[in-house]
Amino acid sequence: MSGATAPAALEGLVDQPRVRDFLSTAISEGRLSHAYLFLGPPGSGKHEAAEALAKCVVCPHGGDATCDECRRVAHRTHPDVHWLAPGSATGYLVSQIRELIEDAGLAPIRAMAKVYVLERAELLRGTAANALLKTLEEPPEGTMFILCARVVEAMLPTIVSRCQQVPFRAGSTAAGVRAVLRSCAATPEEARVALAVAGSPGRAADYLSSTSRREVRRLVVDTLDALDRDDSWDVLLAAKQLVSAVAVPLADVKQAQEEALQESQDFLTAGALKQVADANKRELTARERSGMMEALAAAESLLRDVLVRLEGTGEAIVNEDAAAVVDRLAGRATTRSVVRALDAVARAADDLAHNVSPQLTLEVMLLAIKEALACPPSSR
């Protein structure tokens, strides 16, 4: 174990002590790499570590986790920390990478360095990957890239060879719950729900702090509970209501973007300002998609609890606060019908990945779940 004292921003990585100690040592010895490849399964803490490292890089105090710079990183509004996700269902777009490269050549706006976090980096392929290679090999001074992927085998060797690999071990549900409870005031039951909806401890903590995101999950539960009573028109209205609810948290993000853009007016050229505006628009689209995926995750979690009830294993359900809804659904469903409903959720996730409109995606999914759960109990 390293003797380096971890910056406050890294102290939250208690379930990944090797990663925490490795990064702490690199920071204390001034040996940070210009490119990292964070490897691990969903929920292992890759994104939390990327955020923590970004705080350490742009924070004037070395990652105290409390200053304005660190808060901006946590809220994804820091102008020098960029989060990228694949621009299409098939992967990163060449235009995304070219804009990244051009932006990397510009001076930082607030900090002394810039950080680019690429999510699902295994989808960095073809021309887009080739466009990034030279920048990874000869990055502009004061620039760091953090690529996040599940397994190294899914990455292009030419990308891997230009990055320092950092492996993350899979985290257990219990460890995830502990991580959530350390970072916010919540009950273990709330933490389990948040992990089911948001996926990782860091995102789960953010979810629990957002009244509007928790409201989306409540609407999902109520909608599934009412499907047996609703007609098709009611289902379409429910889908519209869910889409509107998902958009509520985006208002704060948009306001923060506009404020940051206003602050940048004196530093950036007109072309650079347009690039920032375009990137902001992509971020809003990505956040809307993320919110929709949380809604689908909430539906999937509830339906899996229904399966637990039907199979009678005695296993604890995740959605304990919605136990009455789980029992009602189990009382009128079958194992086969719930599996069909789960298939509808999976198809909806695939549709979102292929840029089908959120409204249409939810309408089709809810109607399919309604049809699936209409199976009479006697056929169980």
Please tell me the predicted confidence (pLDDT) of residue 159: 96
| Per-residue pLDDT reduced to its tens digit, 17-47 | 999 999 999 999 999 999 999 999 887 889 9
| Per-residue pLDDT reduced to its tens digit, 98-122 | 999 999 999 998 899 999 999 999 9
Whole-number Å distance between alpha carbons of 80 and 69? 10
Mean per-residue pLDDT for 69-92?
A: 88
**Which residues have C-beta within 8 Å of that of residue 314, sequence separation ≥ 6?**
none
Mean per-residue pLDDT for 298-323?
A: 94
User: How sure is the predictor about 277, in pLDDT bands with cuts at 50, 70 and 90?
Assistant: confident
Mean per-residue pLDDT for 202-227?
A: 94
Please tell me the predicted confidence (pLDDT) of residue 224: 97
Whole-number Å distance between alpha carbons of 373 and 322? 18
If we measure between CA atoms, which residue out of 188, 215, 213 comes closest to residue 203?
Answer: 213
Whole-number Å distance between alpha carbons of 249 and 295? 13
Whole-number Å distance between alpha carbons of 232 and 217? 21
User: How sure is the predictor about 377, in pLDDT bands with cuts at 50, 70 and 90?
Assistant: very low
- The pLDDT of residue 4 is above 80: no
Domain residue spans of the chain: 8-169, 215-379
- Identify the helix (H) or strand (E) that includes residue 271: helix 270-311
User: How sure is the predictor about 15, in pLDDT bands with cuts at 50, 70 and 90?
Assistant: confident
Helices marked H in 184-249: 188-198, 201-208, 211-226, 232-247
If we measure between CA atoms, which residue out of 121, 84, 119 comes closest to residue 100?
Answer: 84
Instruction: Work out whether the CA dihedral 154, 116, 295, 361 comes out positive or negative.
Output: negative
| Per-residue pLDDT reduced to its tens digit, 157-194 | 999 999 999 999 887 788 889 888 988 899 999 999 99
CATH superfamily of 8-169: P-loop containing nucleotide triphosphate hydrolases (3.40.50.300)
DSSP letters along 117-150, please? EETTGGG--HHHHHHHHHHHHSPPTTEEEEEEES
Task: Return the DSSP state at 83.
Answer: E
Whole-number Å distance between alpha carbons of 293 and 299? 10
Beta bridge partners of 83: 117
If we measure between CA atoms, which residue out of 51, 42, 27 comes closest to residue 122?
Answer: 42
User: How sure is the predictor about 3, in pLDDT bands with cuts at 50, 70 and 90?
Assistant: low
Beta bridge partners of 82: 116
**Which residues have C-beta within 8 Å of that of residue 278, sequence separation ≥ 6?**
99
Mean per-residue pLDDT for 231-239?
A: 94
